[in-house]
């Protein structure tokens, strides 16, 4: 297996919420709570989970677009959280983020040339015709042409805008891209085009992806490994095949069961979880999933299970994993 490109170690991000008169009452919202994650060279790691589980916060913390509260982010062994502003600015050419909605991530007052050339003007010495040639080259790599150079975002479709966003992300020849639901704002037919483009670019340039999505079918198609998040924590991670066919955590099993199946003869049983995701500002004691878990036992409400390796490369955080049923059931 290739060496890790990016590693998160005990990565946490807490936000302070102020309530009451003059905001005197404060609550701590644990958006990320001790996340461990490894992304190897030239692989795609999918991150899935319900809205509010911390997927986007994880991606932004890995790139220091927001500052983590604690933990480490290692990029080729170097802790990004220890870099000063100058060193981080120089390192930023090695990683970029493609955001969910291209309509909001691209400045409507800037034309395509200005949008795509901005990172080049920031991180390189390219000027004049050399700069223009590089921007045209980037547009051609994502399936656009030089004739689009001086058009504005409102003149493009959603799929074309996302191609422009990808071109901008590729400008400085990065090795790592965080893709934050890059197809969720697009039509289904266009989604397939963007996914195919991302895979082609990965093969051509040896890119490494962290692919954040709530669409399990897309994640299954593009990912080598998958991390499942719940309430700011990774509750299971393994290869794509193991997650979809050998899932161990009850939450992962419920997610997989909700994936639409095209075969009408399929008798896949859907697992309906009761209730809603608890607030990160007031997480439950013990296992964070236990209030909704159909298989909970007494210990689940008392002790938080650690993320353990149940077999080579397959990690899960559940008291039931690898245990025989010798613990009394929770009567709640």
Residue 320 within a domain = no
pLDDT score, position 276: 82
Residue 175 within a domain = yes
Q: What is the pLDDT of residues 243-286, one digit of tens each?
A: 999 999 999 999 998 877 666 666 667 788 887 888 888 889 99
Q: What is the pLDDT of residues 47-72, one digit of tens each?
A: 999 988 999 999 999 999 999 999 99
CATH code for the domain in which residue 13 is found: 3.40.50.300
Residue 271 within a domain = yes
Q: How confident is the model at residue 324 (pLDDT cuts 50, 70, 90)?
A: very low
Mean pLDDT on 161-183: 96
**Residue 280, C-beta contacts closer than 8 angstroms, at least 6 positions apart:** 29, 30, 31, 52, 54, 231, 232
Strands 44-48 and 225-230: parallel
CB atoms closer than 10 angstroms to residue 156: 19
Residue 46 within a domain = yes
| CA distances in angstroms from 215 to 59, 182, 256, 265, listed in the order given | 17, 11, 11, 22
pLDDT score, position 262: 61
Give me the half-sphere count of Cα atoms (radius 13 Å) on the Cβ side of residue 317.
Answer: 24
Q: How confident is the model at residue 164 (pLDDT cuts 50, 70, 90)?
A: very high
Residue 236 within a domain = yes
Q: How confident is the model at residue 111 (pLDDT cuts 50, 70, 90)?
A: very high
Q: How confident is the model at residue 21 (pLDDT cuts 50, 70, 90)?
A: low
Q: What is the pLDDT of residues 74-89, one digit of tens each?
A: 999 999 999 999 999 9
Domain count, the chain: 1
pTM: 0.90
| CA distances in angstroms from 196 to 130, 168, 183, listed in the order given | 29, 18, 11
Q: How far is 11 from 37, CA to CA, in rounded Å? A: 9
Q: How far is 99 from 179, CA to CA, in rounded Å? A: 6
Q: How far is 280 from 216, CA to CA, in rounded Å? A: 23
Residue 293 within a domain = no
Residue 43 within a domain = yes
Q: How far is 219 from 42, CA to CA, in rounded Å? A: 16
| CA distances in angstroms from 118 to 13, 169, 171, 287, listed in the order given | 29, 10, 9, 45
Residue 18 within a domain = yes
State the residue range of the domain holding 86.
4-279
């Amino acid at each position: 297996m290739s060496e890790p490109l990016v590693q998160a170690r005990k990565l946490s991000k807490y936000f302070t919420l102020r309530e009451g008169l003059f905001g005197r009452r404060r609550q701590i919202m644990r958006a990320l709570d001790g996340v461990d994650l490894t992304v190897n060279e030239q692989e795609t790691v999918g991150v899935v989970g319900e809205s509010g589980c911390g997927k986007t916060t994880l991606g932004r913390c890995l790139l220091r677009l927001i500052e983590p509260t604690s933990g480490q982010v290692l990029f080729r062994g170097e802790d990004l959280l220890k870099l000063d502003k100058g060193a981080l600015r120089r390192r930023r050419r090695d990683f970029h983020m493609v955001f969910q909605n291209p309509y909001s991530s691209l400045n409507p007052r800037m034309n395509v040339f200005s949008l795509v050339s901005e990172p080049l003007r920031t991180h390189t010495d390219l000027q004049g015709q050399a700069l223009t040639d590089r921007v045209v080259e980037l547009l051609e790599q994502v399936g656009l042409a030089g004739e689009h150079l001086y058009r504005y975002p409102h003149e493009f479709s959603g799929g074309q805008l996302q191609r422009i966003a990808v071109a901008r992300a590729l400008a400085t020849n990065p090795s790592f891209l965080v893709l934050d639901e890059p197809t969720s704002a697009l039509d289904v037919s266009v989604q397939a085009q963007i996914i195919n483009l991302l895979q082609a670019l990965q093969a051509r340039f040896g890119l490494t992806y962290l692919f954040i999505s709530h669409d399990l079918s897309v994640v299954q198609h593009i990912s080598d490994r998958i991390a499942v998040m719940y309430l700011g924590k990774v509750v299971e991670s393994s290869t794509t095949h193991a997650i979809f066919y050998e899932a161990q955590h009850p939450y992962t099993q419920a997610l997989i069961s909700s994936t639409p199946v095209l075969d009408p003869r399929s008798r896949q049983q859907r697992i309906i979880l009761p209730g809603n995701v608890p607030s990160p500002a007031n997480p439950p004691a013990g296992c964070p999933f236990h209030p909704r878990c159909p298989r909970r036992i007494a210990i689940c409400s008392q002790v938080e299970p650690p993320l353990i390796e149940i077999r080579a490369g397959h990690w899960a955080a559940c008291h039931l994993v690898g245990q025989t049923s010798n613990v009394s059931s929770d009567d709640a």
